[in-house]
Chains A and B, each alone.
Chain A
Amino acid sequence: MQQSLEVRSAAPNRFLGTLKLVGSAPPSAKFGMVIVAIYALVALLAPLLAPYGEVEVVSRVPFEPWSANHLLGTDQLGRDFLSRLIFGARNSISIALLTTAISFVIGCLLGVFAALVGGIVDQVISRLVDALMSVPDLIFTLMILSIFGSSVLNLILIIAVLTSTRFYRIARAAALNVASLDFVEHAKVRGESLLWIAVNEVFPNILPLILSELGMRFCFIFLNIAALSFLGVGIQPPTAEWGSMVRDNAALINMGDITPLIPAAAIAFLAIAVNFVVDWLLNRASGLNDDA
């Protein structure tokens, strides 16, 4: 009786439940969540927060030092560094998010599909994925981008396809376990379509595992895009992007100015914060912290 009361009150208050869940997170995960939230806010409110425009040239002097007008000085073309940093958050994060989402959908659908169908279909897809995974990501991306030209769309697509192989692997392995359970068999006996089974029966059960992978992959995609931009084939100027900001202002480091390291630190900081959250989710998914 006591249990039934608990259950009934829990069902409509999913929001409260989530809050409670967040409250029970360890300090490191809470810290990560706060940082991620700050990044998200900055990205969303960039036009309001930034003192100047993204590509607005505000000074005739390049590499102006830090001052009251330009808190972090100006870059090599005399644009406000802080403003570009803020807009950079928006560009880098949104592109990385979009790429992660696309790779997630492709990878999960194919993975669950391969696990459910099995046999030759599974073999063909899996070997193709193996082949793709055997080429180092960054080199592969560099090659493709130099062939097809460097546009944001190309960048997103190529990284999404490459990253989807990781999602595929995990989704397939997790789905194989679920696919052997009676409720999946029952859905087949009932006459459900494969897509319905994949989305309604299998996917919700493998989601906790994939969610943590999602966070991790987001970090890698973010880093990859920054690295590609640093190399000059990623997001093209004048769009503000942290990786290219590091490269364009790298000369300053020789003069003892740490400004170009700030976007690099911003990248690192986000990666660390996301990883804190992911670690916690991963522990929860595997039930490791239940004994504690």
Chain B
Amino acid sequence: MTATPSAPVIDLVDLKIEAKSNDQWSKIVNGVSLSIRPGEVLGLVGESGAGKSTVGLAALGYFRPGAKVTGGEVRLLGQNILDIPEEERRKFRGTKVAYVAQSAQAAFNPAYRLMDQIIMVAVDRGGLTREAAQKRALDLFHALQLPDPRNFGKRYPHQVSGGQLQRAMVAMAMICNPALIIFDEPTTALDVTTQVEVLISIRKVIEDYRVAAIYITHDLAVVAQVAHRVAVLRYGEVVEEAPIAQIMERPTHPYTKSLWAVHEMPVGQGDRHGKGAPLLAVTGLGAHYGDFQVLTAIDLDVGRGETVALVGESGSGKSTLGRVIVGLKEVSSGQVVYEGKPLPGTIRRRSLEMLKQIQIIYQSADTALNPRQTVRKIIGRPLTLYQGLRGARREERVLELLKLVELNETHIDRTPGQLSGGQKQRIAIARALAADPRLIVCDEITSALDKVVQAEVLRMLMRLQERLGVSYLFITHDIEVVRAIADRVVVMQDGKIVEQGGKDQVLAQPRADYTRKLLDSVPDMAVGWLDGIVAARAA
């Protein structure tokens, strides 16, 4: 390396990138200048579509198909890598600059052992022998605190957990001792308790190996734990850049302030339980997938006009419980009682009137809305099916429902592809409301949305509840959402309920160990939170 220690590892100078969509070139990165010194971690923050990943990939000298550079420079170790041909740039990747993607599952080839994939770049391009590379990988496994590091490399990707695979990808990126690593939302797809482990590992290797890094995320609480400096991106421009402590304490740009403010989610009404008989009562419920018991002895009430949050990590059975309630999954024991009467187990044995009263909204509005139908048809169909509305009366009601979810008549002729993520989820909510339901099962409905949009949707749901008196069973893994919307909280782990009670009681004085662990794992919006966790563990 010719660069002096204080010279920047990477310099983005007035970088401009355009991308083609619908036969039109649009600017997605508009004059971004960033500079990172050795050992420094820059957090790149912004909503989806802000151009974070495009900037991250540009640091690798890589551009997605359909994107092109229209100006500026990318200086890696003093050399503008945009000047050299793609074949030359390819030699840098993996050796001098490396990339850690969001989904490790998609990044690893399931047919090869982890070790072979991790050392591949080092042997092919890094000039290391197999043995030297394996030794280095082993050191990295230790540094990343992977279990049984000696045998870890012998496993296949499906044999390790999601968090371990994510750390294996960090090892793959670090194998050639690169000068710079791009982390592109590396913990976003993980459960909170796993996220903490991976964050601790990532931070440790960054410090141990003194590598410079760009850490891309939309989660401010996460970036506060790992970054030294933060750049906030919006519409492809850096709106604010400052040291982490400064930007967390005193954000100056209005947009940054609004991002920060989102973390002050709306605050729910608190415990409203106990008004009369419950709307829905689940007693002693069990369910199986084949021989595997997914739900065991579930007892749960949902009152009228109440929001019950069902919290747990992936695999805890919370979504399965939601499916049982809407009739998509048959129970093997116990029952679901609705309005004092037991509900039949399958959709086919439920009457249209029963189906109408319990609606479900899905996590991904992309797959929950038929891409070939217009909003008119999507919202109008339940109106025709349940209430027999047609023609002008149906049209009128569709417009009313659109207004209810804070959209308007301009959206009625669009297909889902012509709507934003937040708008799509609003349409899905309007479709559920079209049935005039008593209970809506909301399955992670805000987790695919940006924080700003998420807060808007949650506020809207609360207003709707006040107006319509509908009950929500809110399935989520996000404690912040629970804090915002729930009256009562039910915590699930491994198909069992470990704790349930009023929101204030469960969140403030959790009784179960698991609840405490879950709550502790949610990152605080404060610098040094992770240090506190590490210190507490060491003690």
Where the two chains meet, the residues of A that have a C-beta atom closer than 8 Å to any C-beta of B are: 3-4, 7-8, 11, 181-183, 185-186, 188-192, 200-201, 204-205, 290-291
B70 at the interface (CB under 8 A from A): no
Q: Shortest 7 CB-CB distances between A and B: which pairs?
A: A204-B372, A182-B368, A191-B355, A182-B367, A182-B362, A183-B370, A181-B367
- A residues in contact with B355, CB < 8 Å: 189-191
Other than A181-B367, A189-B326, give 6 A-B pairs with Cβ distance below 8 A: A181-B368, A189-B327, A189-B359, A190-B382, A192-B385, A205-B371
Bound-state CA distance A8–B411 (Å) is: 9
- Smallest CB–CB gap between A199 and chain B, Å? 12
Q: How large is the interface on B (under 10, 10 to 19, 20 to 34, 35 or more residues)?
A: 20 to 34
- A residues in contact with B347, CB < 8 Å: 188-189, 191
B369 at the interface (CB under 8 A from A): yes
- Smallest CB–CB gap between A16 and chain B, Å? 16
B283 at the interface (CB under 8 A from A): no
- Smallest CB–CB gap between B218 and chain A, Å? 23
- Smallest CB–CB gap between B371 and chain A, Å? 7
Output the nearest chain B residue to A185 by Cβ-Cβ distance: B328
Which residues 476-503 in B have Cβ within 8 Å of A in the complex? Answer: none
- Smallest CB–CB gap between A286 and chain B, Å? 15
With A182-B364, A189-B326 known as contacts, the answer to whether A291 contacts B370 (CB < 8 A) is no
- CB pair B360 A186 closer than 8 Å: yes
Bound-state CA distance A291–B414 (Å) is: 26
- Smallest CB–CB gap between B12 and chain A, Å? 26
Q: Can you list 9 A-B contacts (CB < 8 A)?
A: A3-B418, A182-B362, A182-B368, A183-B367, A186-B368, A189-B347, A190-B385, A201-B370, A205-B370
Among A4, A8, A183, A204, point to the contact of B369 (Cβ < 8 A): A183
- Smallest CB–CB gap between B439 and chain A, Å? 13
- CB pair B362 A204 closer than 8 Å: no
Bound-state CA distance A183–B428 (Å) is: 10
- CB pair A191 B362 closer than 8 Å: no
- B residues in contact with A11, CB < 8 Å: 413
- A residues in contact with B369, CB < 8 Å: 183
B373 at the interface (CB under 8 A from A): yes
- B residues in contact with A291, CB < 8 Å: 65-66
Bound-state CA distance A181–B364 (Å) is: 10
- CB pair A183 B368 closer than 8 Å: yes
- B residues in contact with A186, CB < 8 Å: 360, 362, 368, 431
- CB pair B413 A8 closer than 8 Å: yes
- CB pair A205 B65 closer than 8 Å: no
Bound-state CA distance A186–B382 (Å) is: 11
- B residues in contact with A290, CB < 8 Å: 66
- Smallest CB–CB gap between A7 and chain B, Å? 5
B435 at the interface (CB under 8 A from A): yes
